[in-house]
């Protein structure tokens, strides 16, 4: 598995990590990104990484197939294997990881029933504790998000007609299923996509958004109270098929958001593969010039108010107008992207 970087940024093939470029002297986001591209590095692993947590310019974690977790504390120049031994032995699919510093991280493995688990470390991956194992064969957990180092949520595909939300208020040590009364009914065939760790994202202390596909419409649900109650909006990104819908969300703050997705099948067209919201996800507008193909991950670039990246199996795209238009930035296959808040 090769890693890539842009200036002070680092990323992995099939998983992208990006910190923002330095401020442009003329305050132009487009000017600041001129000449940006990826530089390859090597982890020595053959895992495919879909989970990524960029903590800072120096520290990041990735999680992927075969129970693999890697960590860097030198800006991506080297990566240490800190995989949970049990996850490696069972070949768990680790599709999301949230980290708070170089020592504390929470990882999610996906799958039906007991394959969905939460693992936690507080010593940089030297040891891991399994803090949740899904007891319900009908549930399939897709993504994690944390509001702060104590409060977090995980989401499962619908059970008995509604998405299931798992909550922690002690940093992932303990988890409980939230009441379903505030969750709207799911559409027939609707589900989340465990493609990039970005189908469930949060901004600020209480706001969280959930991206869906597979049903008749690609929908985005918003909760202003840490998952207790939700409202639904249609994204405009086409769905209507198990392979199509909204795959990833990125919110710069609690009002300004991006959505990307499409049809993940190779060679299939993905028109209207991006949308933007300026009202906390109440409404979404299609990008006037979307990415040219399916995109599975997105991230805002810190310190550049209108710049963001979208990644997928056919390349990386950039917007410098808050998601209204996208332009190709680089070739290469990526599943996810994240940006360190101090990057730039």
Separation of alpha carbons 344 and 328, rounded Å: 22
The overall longest dimension of the chain from CA atoms, in Å, is: 56
pLDDT at 25: 36
CB 150 within 8 A of CB 139: no
Supply the pTM of this predicted model. 0.92
CATH code matching the domain that covers 47-292+322-328, chosen among 2.20.130.10, 3.40.50.2020, 2.130.10.10, 3.30.1330.40: 2.130.10.10
pLDDT at 28: 67
pLDDT digits (tens, 9 = 90+) for 147-176: 999 999 999 999 999 999 999 999 999 999
Residue whose tokens read 């419409």: 217
Whether 24 has a pLDDT exceeding 70, the answer reads no
Q: How confident is the model at residue 226 (pLDDT cuts 50, 70, 90)?
A: very high
Residue whose tokens read 């909204």: 246
pLDDT digits (tens, 9 = 90+) for 236-274: 999 999 999 999 999 999 999 999 999 999 989 999 999
Other C-beta atoms lying within 10 Å of the C-beta of residue 271: 12
pLDDT at 11: 43
Other C-beta atoms lying within 10 Å of the C-beta of residue 148: 11
Separation of alpha carbons 45 and 1, rounded Å: 5
pLDDT digits (tens, 9 = 90+) for 293-327: 999 999 999 888 899 999 999 999 999 999 999 99
Separation of alpha carbons 149 and 170, rounded Å: 8
Q: How confident is the model at residue 31 (pLDDT cuts 50, 70, 90)?
A: low
pLDDT at 21: 45
Whether 8 has a pLDDT exceeding 70, the answer reads no
Other C-beta atoms lying within 10 Å of the C-beta of residue 258: 27
Q: What would the 3-class secondary structure string for the chain be? A: CEEEECCCCCEECCEEECCCCCCCCCCCHHHHCCCCCCEEEECCCCCCEEEEEECCCCCEEEEEHHHCEEEECCCCCCCEECCCHHHHHHCCCEEEEEECCCCCEEEEECCEHHHCEEEEECCCCCCCEEEEECCCCCCEEEEEEECCCCCEEEEEEEECCEEEEEEECCCCCCCEECCCCCCCCCCCCCECCCCCCCCEEEECCCEEEEECECCCCCEEEEECCCCCCCEEEECCCCCCCCCEEEEEEEECCCCCEEEEEEECCCCCCCCCCEEEECCCCCCCEECCECCCCCCCEEEECCCCCCCEEEEECCEEEEECCCCCECEEEECCCCCCEECCCCCC
Whether 124 has a pLDDT exceeding 70, the answer reads yes
Which residues, including other chains, have CB under 8 Å from residue 55's CB and lie 6 or more apart? 61, 99, 100, 101, 102, 340
CB 196 within 8 A of CB 336: yes
Which residues, including other chains, have CB under 8 Å from residue 164's CB and lie 6 or more apart? 139, 155, 156, 157, 158, 177, 180
The Cα-based distances of 27 to 19, 236, 318, 337 in angstroms read 17, 32, 17, 24
């Amino acid at each position: 598995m090769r890693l890539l970087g842009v200036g002070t940024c680092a990323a992995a093939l099939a998983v992208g990590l990006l910190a923002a470029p330095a401020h442009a002297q003329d305050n132009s986001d487009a000017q600041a990104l001129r000449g940006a591209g990826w530089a390859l590095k090597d982890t020595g692993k053959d895992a495919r990484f879909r989970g990524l947590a960029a903590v800072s310019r120096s520290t990041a974690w990735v999680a992927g197939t075969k129970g693999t977790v890697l960590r860097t504390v030198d800006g991506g120049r080297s990566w240490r294997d800190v995989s949970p031994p049990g996850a490696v032995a069972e070949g768990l699919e680790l599709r999301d990881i949230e980290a708070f510093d170089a020592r504390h991280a929470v990882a999610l493995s996906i799958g039906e029933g007991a394959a969905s688990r939460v693992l936690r470390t507080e010593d940089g991956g030297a040891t891991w504790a399994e803090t949740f194992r899904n007891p319900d064969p009908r549930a399939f957990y897709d993504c994690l998000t944390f509001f702060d180092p104590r409060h977090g949520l995980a989401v499962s595909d619908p059970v008995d007609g509604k998405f299931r939300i798992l909550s922690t208020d002690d940093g992932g040590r303990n988890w409980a299923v939230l009441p379903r009364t505030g969750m709207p009914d799911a559409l027939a065939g609707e589900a989340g996509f465990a493609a990039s760790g970005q189908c469930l994202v949060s901004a600020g202390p209480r706001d969280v958004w959930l991206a869906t596909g597979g049903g008749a419409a690609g929908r985005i649900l918003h909760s202003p109270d840490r998952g207790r109650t939700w409202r639904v909006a249609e994204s405009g990104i086409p769905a209507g098929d198990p392979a199509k819908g909204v795959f990833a969300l990125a919110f710069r703050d609690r009002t300004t958001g991006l959505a990307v997705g499409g049809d993940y099948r190779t060679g299939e067209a993905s028109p209207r593969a991006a949308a933007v919201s300026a009202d906390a996800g109440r409404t979404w507008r299609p990008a006037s010039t979307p990415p040219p193909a399916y995109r599975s991950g997105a991230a805002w670039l810190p310190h550049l108010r209108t710049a963001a990246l979208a990644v997928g199996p056919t390349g990386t795209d950039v917007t410098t107008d808050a998601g209204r238009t996208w332009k190709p930035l680089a070739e290469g296959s990526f599943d996810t992207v994240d940006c360190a808040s101090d990057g730039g």
